[in-house]
């Protein structure tokens, strides 16, 4: 005779959502955070549903980053009152800088963790359920933890065929406007062998594009060898890995762009002809005040060397408008350099003082807001003109495009990027191409920041396996 049937309650796993502010380094940190949360038994929240855990991965480069965070936290306050079991965590650069101030301003936050203890987030959330709100900020990174490759391998990536790979943390430069050294610490490079092993594992998983990340990738390895930076050597090692078809990197510092790096870019097929080279200003006096370590002339020399060596090179940059003390004459000097550089595109910023930086103390030299806004518009016109000219040169060409998926604005179109990083939209064929496919596209139209084209042929299907959800009976 059979015994009574026991009914066991199945508890659904908790869900999480991560909201990211800031740079590519933060984007990758969020991928690592997602991997850590999944490893701890949580699952990503479904679209339109309310998560059990919300994590904000913050930036502190610009002043409005603070406003965005506290506005988002304010919106969650009522949500948490209606859902008391919800947990809210704040990590990243702003958490590193502001520490306990976050709980003072938003007492409904459960956990605050810094840039140096990202791996602790799941454990802190578990502890907070019984102990109450927790703040844990390490003043300096653990060099061994920073060099550990494991967290990156289990990252949950938005694109299965493309991966970020952090090669170093921290920064040894002293740019007057930048808070990064204070919140990320000194440069710590990961061992070359670990990076090669990680890239090999990514390739086996079907990743075909890697973007190498660092605050100053040019100086990679300077802290672990007496031979000098190892960045060119790293590019050659990554370029030899079967399956890795595209390698990008960001950001190099102009003062450290060495001939061997340019040579490696020119010689290695997998390294994309794309260079992000932050100018910041075209005025030599402003560059000195910024403590950038190069002149406008030296910048242009290195840019010319890269363009001479690397065929069909696309160049992007960063520019700050309204640095303290910048005069009309100096801004016009910048415009002249920017126009002659003929950038493909640029990330433009209005100077924002960050507490703890040298530039934040230059209060008497702050430029009037109206002047800065007018300069910003003039800069945009120069950059838009240059970007459109560069794109018009591509009309009529056949470009290799790595498909990213449906266009965000028109699901009848597919979007992807060329080897130069150009965004291309083209009509989806009858049998839609999966993300990760490689296609040849004929360019038919140019706008300043995207291209339109027509599918010519499919080079190959995706290398990564299609994820199929497992359904229990």
- The domain that holds 385 is classified in CATH as 3.30.750.200
How far apart CA 429 and CA 413 sit, in angstroms, is: 9
Paired tokens of 183: 């919140």
Same domain assignment for residues 60 and 123: yes
Which strands make up the sheet holding 134-136, listed edge to edge?
Answer: 43-44, 15-20, 53-58, 87-92, 111-113, 134-136
> The pTM is what?
0.85
In a domain, 8, yes or no: no
Q: Is 127 exposed, middle or buried (0-12, 13-18, 19+ CB in 10 A)?
A: middle
Max Cα distance, the chain (Å): 96
How far apart CA 272 and CA 264 sit, in angstroms, is: 11
How far apart CA 297 and CA 282 sit, in angstroms, is: 9
Residue range of the domain that includes 109: 15-136
Same domain assignment for residues 333 and 296: yes
Residue 117 and residue 151 in contact, taking contact as beta carbons nearer than 8 Å: no
Beta strands in 121-227 (DSSP E): 134-136, 162-166, 168-169, 188-189, 209-213
Same domain assignment for residues 155 and 267: yes
**What does DSSP assign to residue 374?**
H
In a domain, 4, yes or no: no
Domain C-terminal end among 371, 393, 415: 393
Same domain assignment for residues 288 and 353: yes
In a domain, 119, yes or no: yes
Task: Return the CATH number at 404.
Answer: 2.40.50.140
Tens of each residue's pLDDT in the chain, 473 residues: 455 655 555 557 899 999 988 788 888 888 889 888 988 899 999 888 999 999 999 988 766 777 888 899 999 999 999 989 999 999 988 889 888 899 999 999 999 998 888 889 999 999 999 999 999 988 776 666 555 545 455 577 778 899 999 999 889 999 999 988 888 888 999 999 999 999 999 999 899 999 999 989 999 999 998 888 999 999 999 999 999 999 999 989 999 999 999 999 999 999 999 999 999 999 999 999 999 999 999 999 999 999 999 999 999 999 999 999 999 999 999 999 999 999 999 999 999 998 889 999 999 999 999 999 999 999 999 999 999 999 999 999 999 999 999 998 888 899 999 999 999 999 988 888 999 999 999 999 999 999 999 999 999 999 876 553 333 33
In a domain, 319, yes or no: yes
Paired tokens of 276: 């992000």
Same domain assignment for residues 158 and 230: yes
Same domain assignment for residues 387 and 436: no
pLDDT at 420: 98
Domain C-terminal end among 368, 393, 418: 393
Same domain assignment for residues 379 and 417: no
Which residue's entry shows tokens 């059979």? 2
Which residue's entry shows tokens 């097929």? 269
Same domain assignment for residues 296 and 362: yes
Same domain assignment for residues 249 and 294: no
How far apart CA 218 and CA 202 sit, in angstroms, is: 23
In a domain, 311, yes or no: yes
Phi-psi region of 327 (alpha: psi -120 to 50; beta: other; left: phi over 0): beta
pLDDT at 428: 87
Same domain assignment for residues 377 and 455: no
In a domain, 357, yes or no: yes
In a domain, 241, yes or no: yes
Same domain assignment for residues 286 and 348: yes
Domain C-terminal end among 208, 239, 272: 272
Task: Return the CATH number at 203.
Answer: 3.30.750.210
Residue 168 and residue 188 in contact, taking contact as beta carbons nearer than 8 Å: yes
Structural domains counted in the chain:
4
């Amino acid at each position: 005779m059979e015994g009574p049937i026991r009914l066991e309650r199945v508890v659904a796993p908790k869900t999480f959502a991560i909201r990211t502010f800031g740079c590519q380094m933060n984007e990758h940190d969020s991928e690592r955070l997602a991997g850590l949360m999944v490893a701890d038994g949580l699952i990503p929240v479904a679209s339109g549903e309310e998560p059990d855990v919300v994590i904000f991965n913050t930036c502190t480069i610009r002043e409005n980053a603070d406003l965005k965070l506290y506005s988002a936290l304010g919106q969650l306050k009522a949500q948490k009152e209606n859902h008391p079991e919800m947990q809210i965590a704040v990590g990243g650069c702003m958490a590193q800088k502001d520490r306990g101030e976050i709980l003072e301003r938003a007492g409904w936050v459960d956990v605050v963790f810094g840039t140096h203890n990202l791996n602790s987030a799941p454990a802190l959330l578990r502890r907070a359920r019984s102990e109450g709100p927790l703040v844990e900020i390490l003043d300096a990174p653990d060099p061994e933890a920073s060099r550990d490759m494991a967290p990156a391998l289990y990252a949950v990536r938005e694109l299965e065929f493309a991966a970020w790979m952090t090669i170093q943390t921290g920064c040894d430069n002293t740019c007057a406007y930048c808070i990064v050294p204070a919140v990320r610490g000194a440069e710590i490079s990961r061992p070359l062998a670990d990076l090669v092993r990680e890239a090999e594992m990514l390739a086996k998983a079907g990743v075909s594009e890697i973007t190498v990340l660092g605050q100053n990738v040019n100086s990679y390895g300077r802290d672990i060898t007496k031979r000098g930076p190892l960045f060119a050597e790293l590019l050659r090692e990554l370029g030899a890995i079967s399956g890795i078809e595209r390698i990008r990197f960001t950001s190099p510092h102009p003062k450290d762009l060495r001939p061997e790096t340019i040579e490696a870019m020119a010689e290695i097929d997998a390294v994309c002809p794309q260079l992000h080279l932050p100018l910041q200003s075209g005025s030599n006096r402003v560059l000195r005040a910024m403590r950038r370590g190069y002149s406008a002339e030296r910048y242009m020399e290195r840019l010319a060397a890269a363009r001479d060596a690397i065929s069909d090179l696309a160049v992007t940059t960063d520019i700050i408008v309204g640095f303290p003390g910048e005069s009309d004459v100096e801004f016009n000097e910048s415009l002249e350099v920017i126009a002659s550089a003929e950038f493909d595109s640029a990330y433009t910023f209005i100077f924002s003082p960050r507490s703890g930086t040298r530039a934040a103390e230059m209060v008497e030299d702050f430029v009037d807001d109206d002047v800065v806004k007018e300069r910003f518009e003039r800069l945009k016109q120069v950059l838009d003109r240059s970007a459109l000219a560069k794109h018009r040169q591509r009309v009529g060409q056949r470009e290799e495009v790595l498909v990213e998926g449906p266009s965000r604005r028109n699901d009848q179109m597919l979007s992807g990027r060329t080897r130069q990083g150009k965004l291309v939209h083209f009509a989806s064929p009858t049998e839609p191409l999966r993300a990760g496919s490689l296609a040849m596209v004929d360019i038919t139209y140019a706008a300043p920041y995207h291209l339109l084209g027509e599918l010519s042929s499919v080079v190959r299907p995706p290398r990564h396996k299609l994820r199929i959800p497992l359904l229990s009976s």
